[in-house]
Every structure is written in structure tokens, then in C-alpha cells.
Amino acid sequence: MEITAMTLDHYEQSIELWKMTEGLVLSESDSREQIGLFLRRNENLSFVCLVEDSVVGTSMCGHDGRRGFLYHIAVSETHRGKGIAKRMVERSLEALRAAGITKCHLFTLESNEIGNRYWSGTGWQKRSGILLYSKDVSQIWTKRRP
């Protein structure tokens, strides 16, 4: 079992793992091109766990210069309970700390019972009083003024 920095070479196996992971929602942001941009912008913050060259776990991580964010923490069902998620997340958090980032957030669906149980059981605090607003900027059309 090896935990190593995620590269675009891991994309195909990672997307297949994500598709099989209950509670993990995919979007157009998970295309090969978009994941490549994310990995380049956040170099050496995301990790995979390999067993015999097969991706059995992923931890995607990035930051905006102030706060870190975790995405797509996934471990194949056959490899759960072995500390893989913990080790990958620790590597991501260590990389954030080295970059001077002092706080990390993650998003999980309310209905993701497995994920919510995991995060609350590993020292992450559920925030109250915060609402998340989103806007699809790909749908914004701006008319240029002369």
C-alpha cells in the first residue's frame, strides 16, 4: 500500500472509484481537463492510495490562499477500515500547513451518512450558522460596454 501525490495519470481509476462511492456527487468540474487544472493549481496537495498500481483511495485538496478545502475523499469498499482515508487526509493537511494555511473545510451532503459519521468521528466539527450559496458562473453572460 502506497500513498503518493495524485497526478492526472490517476484520473481514470479515480473517476471510476468516485462513481462507485456512495454520497460522492460528480459534476462537470470532474472532467479530466478540470481535474488537471485543479491538480496543477494545487500541486502536491492531493493524494491517492495505490495497491498493486490500482487506485483504492483519493484525497483531493486545494486552497485559496486563506483556507484549505478537501474534496472527493474516497476509499474503495474493500479497503475501508484500514486507515487509508486518515493517512491521505493527514498528508493533505500537512501540505496545507506547510503552505501556511491554518484552517481546512470540507463539504458533504446531509444525506451522506457514512461520510458524516466518519468526519464527526475523526475530530472535524460540523459548523452551524453558516449557509452555503452557489452560482453557476458558466451561465453568466456579460455584455461588454463600448
Q: Which CATH architecture has domain 2-139?
A: 3-Layer(aba) Sandwich (3.40)
The three cell numbers of residue 103 are 484552517
What value does the mean pLDDT take over residues 97-124? 94
Residues 6+ apart with CB under 8 A from 52: none
- 101 with 68: CB under 8 angstroms? yes
Distances (CA, A) of 106 to 67, 69, 89, 133, 143: 10, 5, 11, 15, 35
pLDDT at 124: 96
Question: What's this model's pTM, rounded to 2 decimal places?
Answer: 0.89
What's the rounded Cα separation, in Å, for the pair 138 and 37? 16
What value does the mean pLDDT take over residues 6-13? 98
User: Tens of pLDDT along 40-81?
Assistant: 999 999 999 999 999 999 999 999 999 999 999 999 999 999
Counts of helices then strands in the chain (DSSP H, E): 4, 5
What's the rounded Cα separation, in Å, for the pair 108 and 111? 8
Residues 6+ apart with CB under 8 A from 124: 106
Sketch the domain layout of the chain as residue ranges: 2-139
User: Tens of pLDDT along 119-137?
Assistant: 999 999 999 999 889 888 8
